[in-house]
């Protein structure tokens, strides 16, 4: 028996976002049955990096692909690994935080980094945005070493970086996006709901919008669990 779990947060105008980013989503009525139109239609306003979203490699790597240039199978993961790296007070995810998960990561194609910051998103949105954890560049490199088949990293914080640590945040994105490498990169999924039940995930679907030219996209991420949800 399988069940499904949604990892994406709802895209709303009020959702916490990286400082300076526009809202994750906005809606404007275009046609309205109430006003006498024959249908209801809506104009959608979205930003590529607010709310639950994908960083395509091109976001930080001018030689990397955009989301719409990737094959559809790039967004399906058959070996997800839940990696517990609790950071209740923010700070860096260090290489030493990953070592206990080496065996699990060795066969993973998706690393779900659970820091515990999904709870902060709900209770203290400002702290969530400004003081979240950072995947340290050294930990990013170690992650790629521990997981040779890794194709994506996901985190339950506003980003794998933080406004408090801009230099490290940029370097981490460079490492994961394949800047200065032989072409290896991993996709980055940020601002997801990652809970302990995802240890039972057997497959994860992480669909972006296929908009040519976009460096990233809001995403719908769904995990298939082994057992009832």
Helix (H) or strand (E) holding 121: helix 117-123
CA distance 133 to 18: 13
Contact 153, 137 (CB under 8 A): no
Report the pLDDT value the prediction gives residue 195, as an integer from 0 to 100: 95
Residue ranges making up the domain that contains 136: 2-226
Of residues 121, 131, 129, the one with CA closest to residue 89: 131
Cβ–Cβ < 8 Å for 143, 183: no
Kindly give the pairing relationship between strand 91-93 and strand 133-135: parallel
In the prediction, which pLDDT does 24 show?
A: 93
Quote the pLDDT of residue 228: 63
Residue 88's pLDDT is 84
**For residue 181, what pLDDT is reported?**
85
Q: What is the pLDDT of residue 227?
A: 74
Number of separate domains in the chain: 1
The CATH number of the domain holding residue 109 is 3.50.30.50
3-state helix, strand, coil in the chain (%, to 5): 25, 30, 45
Q: Tell me which residues of the chain have a pLDDT lower than 70.
A: 228-229
**Does the reported pTM lie above 0.85?**
yes
Task: Report how far residue 35's alpha carbon sits from residue 16's, in angstroms, rounded to the nearest whole number.
Answer: 33
């Amino acid at each position: 028996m399988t069940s499904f779990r949604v990892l994406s947060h709802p895209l709303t105008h009020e959702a916490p976002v990286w400082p300076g980013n526009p809202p994750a989503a906005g809606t404007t009525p275009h046609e309205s049955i109430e006003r006498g139109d024959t249908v209801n239609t809506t104009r959608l306003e979205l930003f590529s990096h607010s709310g639950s979203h994908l960083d395509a490699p091109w976001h930080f790597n001018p030689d990397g692909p955009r989301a719409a240039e990737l094959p559809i199978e790039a967004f399906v993961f058959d070996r997800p690994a839940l990696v517990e790296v609790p950071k209740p007070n923010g700070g860096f995810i260090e290489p030493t935080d990953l070592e206990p998960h080496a065996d699990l990561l060795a066969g993973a194609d998706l690393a779900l980094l659970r820091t515990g910051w999904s709870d902060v998103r709900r209770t203290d949105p400002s702290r969530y945005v400004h003081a979240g954890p950072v995947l340290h560049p050294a930990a990013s490199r170690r992650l790629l070493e521990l997981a040779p088949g890794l194709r994506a990293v996901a985190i339950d914080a506003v980003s794998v970086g933080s406004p408090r640590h801009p230099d490290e945040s940029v370097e981490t994105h460079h490492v994961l996006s394949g800047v200065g490498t032989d072409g290896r990169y991993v996709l980055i999924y940020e601002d997801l709901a990652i809970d302990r039940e995802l240890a039972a995930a057997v497959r994860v679907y992480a669909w972006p919008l296929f908009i040519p030219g976009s460096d990233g996209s809001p995403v719908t991420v769904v995990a298939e669990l082994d057992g009832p949800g």
